[in-house]
Every structure is written in C-alpha cells, then in structure tokens.
A and B are shown apart, each in its own frame.
Chain A
Amino acid sequence: MSSFFNGLGPIILGAISLGLLWAVMVMGVYLTYRILDVADLSVEGTITLGAAVAARLITEGVNPWAATLAALVAGLLGGGITGILHTVLKIPALLSGILTMLAMWSINLRVMGGSAGRSNIPLLKTESVFDPFRNLGLSKNMSALVLGLLVVLVVGVLIYWFFGTEIGSAIRATGTNQQMARAQGINTGVMITLGLVISNGLVALSGALIAQSQSFTDIQMGVGSIVIGLASLIIGEVIFGTKSFKRSLISITLGAVLYRIIIALVLKAGMNTNDLKLFTAITVAIFLAMPEIRTRVDRFRSRSKGGV
C-alpha cells in the first residue's frame, strides 16, 4: 500500500496539468456534442493534426507560439471540411466526421514527413510554449499547469462571450431546433459549419499544447480521443452539474482534470496500459447510462415501498 502513495504527488500534479490541456479539447467536444447536438468524430483526426502541424513547424524552427496558432488554424479548416460534407453535400453528420477523421490520417502523415510520410516527431530539444514558464523556474508539470490554466480561462471566457452574441445564439438555436431556427431566418447550414469549425480549432489547439507538453507527436495520439473527450464531459456534468452555461464550462474542465487523475491512479495501482481504452469505454458507458439507472432504481424503490 505504501508503494501506491510513493511519488503520488507529482503524478497527480502531472495529471492535473495534462487534464487542463485536454480541457480545451473537451470544450470543443462540448460545442458539437451538447450545443450543436452532433457527434463529431473528426476530432480524432484534428487533435493529431494540431499536434502534427505544431511539431513539424517547431522542428523547422518556427516560433512555438506561431506554430501553435497555425495548428489552431489547421483545426478550423479541418472542421470546415466536416461542415461542408454535412451541410452542403448532405452527408449524415456522423459519417462526415468519420470521413474527415480517415482523411486526416493520411494528411497527418504528410504534415509530419512530407511525401515520404512520418508517423512521429520527438520534440525533445526544441523550444515550446512552456519555455517562458520553465525559465521562471517552474517545473515541467507546473509550467504546463500554469499555461493550461491560462488557456482554459481565455478559451472559456471567449466561448462564454461568443455564445451570448447574436451569432452564438443562432448556433444554439440551430442545435436545439433547426426547423425553428430556419423559421427565424437563421441559415442553419452555415451555423452548423461554424460550430464545427470552432470546435475543431479548439481540438487542434489542445493537440498542439499536448504535443509540446509531452515532447512528442504520434500519428496514433488521436485514436480514442473522442471517447476521452466524452468521458471527461460526462463525468464533469454528472458530478459538478449543468445549472447554467458558465457552470457547464467549469464542470467539463473539472471533468477533464478528474478523468486524468482517475487514469493516473488506476495506472499507479497497477492497471495494464493496454487495458486503458477498455476501462475508458466502460467508464463512459456507466456514466451515459446513469439517468436510466437512476430511474430504474427509483422505480424499484417506490415499488418496494408498498405501492400498487
């Protein structure tokens, strides 16, 4: 038991900082899954795209901040492709996302290694956006935590503001009731595309930050990321609540951090890393089933209390 607690501090700190970087991605997933009511799988491709663009540019000597910004822009474009497939070409949303995800695999190999392709880029001796914080004397984890917190704060405030504007309200209306939105003069196709664009931009930004934080980019890094995003989102919502929009944004951020802590703890407790995806899938299934489980438990209780 004592070995479990050995060195737990840094592990938790690492999990919190990684969770904050992932929280940016989870906000992107929230925009599509909750606000637009679309399950967008292109994020599996665009998170890697963000990482790949940033890694390639940084190794080519580009300033890491500029590289991170470029990753964000690449993500916006990726989301635009899904949006056009879905709203202009009328391909179902789920399939549009899958097509983009698949296409991104090839694109990401090219981004990392040109026509020869390359499946990973190490970022060990390169600059990163975390350097200014490391130069202040902060540890690797603390730098990630501080920058992660800053980015989450800025992105969160921007999202909160944007969805209060006329355009943001139009996107929300589109996600709730497309028929109503069109009757109120809202171009629903454009709004859905805009939502996908912003979402995938955030996901790519998150990918770029994660890559620099772990000093490594790999073609595989996006695999299963949508489930991780949903897991964080749902854990956050169930535990911390969704009373208001602001509360939801805070909840999903905490959810992303909590998810990383849970994963760190089960790994520390000795779980095989190969089983991680199975564990995540089961966790998501349980949390998604929560409302149904609750009603069944309630029904069982009221019956056993001597109802009819």
Chain B
Amino acid sequence: MLTITNIHKTFNKGTINEKKALNGVDLHLDEGDFVTIIGGNGAGKSTTLNAVAGVFPVDSGKIEIDGVDVTNLPEYKRAAYLGRVFQDPMMGTAANMGIEENLALALRRGERRTLRWGITGPERENYRHLLEQLGLGLEDRLTSKVGLLSGGQRQALTLLMATVKKPKLLLLDEHTAALDPKTAAKVLELTDKIIARDHLTALMVTHNMRHAIEYGNRLIMMHDGKVVVDIRGEEKKHLQVRDLLEKFNIDNDRMLLSE
C-alpha cells in the first residue's frame, strides 16, 4: 500500500542550522498493516510522515501509495489518498466552522469541489450517525463551531474526518500526545476500533512504548533518519517494553518516562 524507497531530506541545507532529517528511509507497508513508529527526538518519525503527506518535497528517493508515484505531487493532491491526524488538536479542524461543515469538507477530499451546496441533507444524517459512535454527545451539536470543543473532542472529530472517506493510508502523528491520559486512552481505543472496522492501513507515531507495543501488527524504530528496527508478526505480539529497552539500549528520557 505504501512503498518508501531510500528517501533523504536535509533541512536548511548549507546553513549553520543544517539538519539531516531523513537519511535513506526504506519502508514497505502491505494493505491492512497497522505500523507503530517509535524513536527518540529527531529520529525522523514525524518527518517521515510529513514526507509521505507532501508537506515538503524530499531531496531524493521515491514515495508510492497504492502503486502511484506521489513523490512530486503537491500536498493537496496527495490528500486524496490520505487521512491525517496531527499532534496539535487545533491543526486538524477549522475552528470557526461547524462540526458538520468540517466533516463535509473531509468527505469531499480528493473530489472536485463545485458550486453545489457544501453540505446535503442525507450526509448530515450520516454525520449524526458517525458522531453517535464517538460517544461524546457531538451528534446533537452538528452546527456548533469546532473551536468550542475540547482538545479530545477535536482530536476525535479529526480522526473521524480522516476516515469518513476511506483513505488508502492513515497517518497519525503523535495524535494523543497533547491529551490527558484518560482522553488519550479513549482516542487511541477509538483509533484502533476504526482501523479494524474499515481495514485501514495506518502509520502511527508515538512516544509511548507501551502504546507502540499494544497497538498495531508491526513496530518500527527510527534512529538518525533511518529505520533501524522492524518487528512484526508473532514477535510483535509477545514484545515487552523490557525487551525493547534491553535490546536496543534505549536511553531516551522521554520514552522512558512515558512508559
């Protein structure tokens, strides 16, 4: 579903702030893979996701989604294949538009926008139904401005927007890191449920090793802009936080603390 071949990216090339962010990333995801990504600060986790999403062009290498070479497509065109949830709950939604308006924008992702009315009656019913499943009471607040929602509610809505039109690939960039532990757990549970229900292919960046182990069928670890560990199948199922620590000599404080 996703094939990343030897991508490189250096930010601020030729300046004092030069930073080699991606240093030959290779990754292949089969359809239905739910891959968690861990790694220290600056390992290239978010940068990899952003490279796939087209936030910036890569210096070299190739990115294919479902057999389509998207390496040179602008961000808004790649959006047709992707669902994205960001770390910052403010980033995934339009604050001064209503809940239903945000969902309507997401439903038209990858389609030609015309002078038809921006939202129709039948789809409104569908949104009510989808929001009901979140269990947050948002189904009765379809026209409320998203800016009035809490961070957790906004993140759940962003997740719904990312999946309302089935994406070829779901990109989750530490999407629970800014939430309190209880809300984070709820959003993660919801994420897992939606991925399983719709058989989505997903990449989830996390700083929490327990989450990385608990969720998904495959775990990769990045270091210095490369994939250094790739665990899947049975081995992933029996993986313990202790194993990861011992095996890979993790000395990253933030990762240890969040365990």
Please determine whether B118 and A166 come into contact, CB atoms closer than 8 angstroms: yes
A69 to chain B, nearest CB (A): 21
Distance A183 CA – B104 CA, assembled complex (angstroms): 14
User: Given A169-B104, A170-B105, A173-B105, does the pair A186, B92 have CB atoms closer than 8 Å?
Assistant: no
Which of B7-15, B29-37, B108-116 participates in binding chain A? Answer: B108-116
Which residues of chain B are within 8 angstroms of A184 by Cβ–Cβ distance? 79, 105-106, 108-109, 161
Which chain A residue lies CB-closest to B116? A166
* SS of A interface (majority): helix
Number of interface residues of B (CB under 8 A): 34
| Separation of A183 and B105 alpha carbons in the complex (Å) | 10
Residues 33-56 of B, flagged 1 when their CB comes within 8 A of A and 0 if not, give 000000000000000000001000
A162 and B92 CA atoms in complex are apart in Å by 24
Binary interface encoding of chain B residues 65-101 relative to chain A, with 1 for a CB under 8 A from any of its CBs, else 0: 0000000001111011010101000111111110001
Q: Across the two chains, which residue of chain B brings its CB closest to A170?
A: B113
- Determine the chain A residues whose CB is within 8 A of the CB of B111 once the complex forms: 185
Question: How many A-B pairs fall under 8 Å by CB?
Answer: 81
| B interface footprint on A142-179 (CB within 8 Å = 1, 0 otherwise) | 00000000000000000000101111111011001101
Given A184-B106, A185-B77, A185-B108; A177-B95 close (CB under 8 Å): yes
Per the bound structure, the CA–CA distance linking A173 and B93 in Å amounts to 9
Residue of A nearest to B118 (CB): A169
Residue pair B76, A186 in contact (C-beta under 8 Å): yes
- Of A166, A179, A186, which is within 8 A of B114 by CB? A166
Q: How far is the CA of A217 from the CA of B158 in the complex (A)?
A: 51
A185-B118 in contact (CB<8A): no
Question: Contacts A173-B105, A176-B95 given: A183-B118 contact, CB under 8 Å?
Answer: no
A sample of 9 more A-B contacts (CB under 8 A), given A165-B115, A183-B84, A184-B108, is A170-B113, A173-B97, A177-B93, A183-B79, A184-B79, A184-B109, A185-B108, A185-B110, A185-B111
10 interchain residue pairs of minimum CB distance: A185-B79, A169-B118, A166-B113, A176-B94, A185-B109, A173-B94, A182-B75, A165-B115, A182-B76, A183-B84
Residues of B within 8 A of A (CB): 53, 74-77, 79-80, 82, 84, 86, 90-97, 101, 104-106, 108-111, 113-119, 161
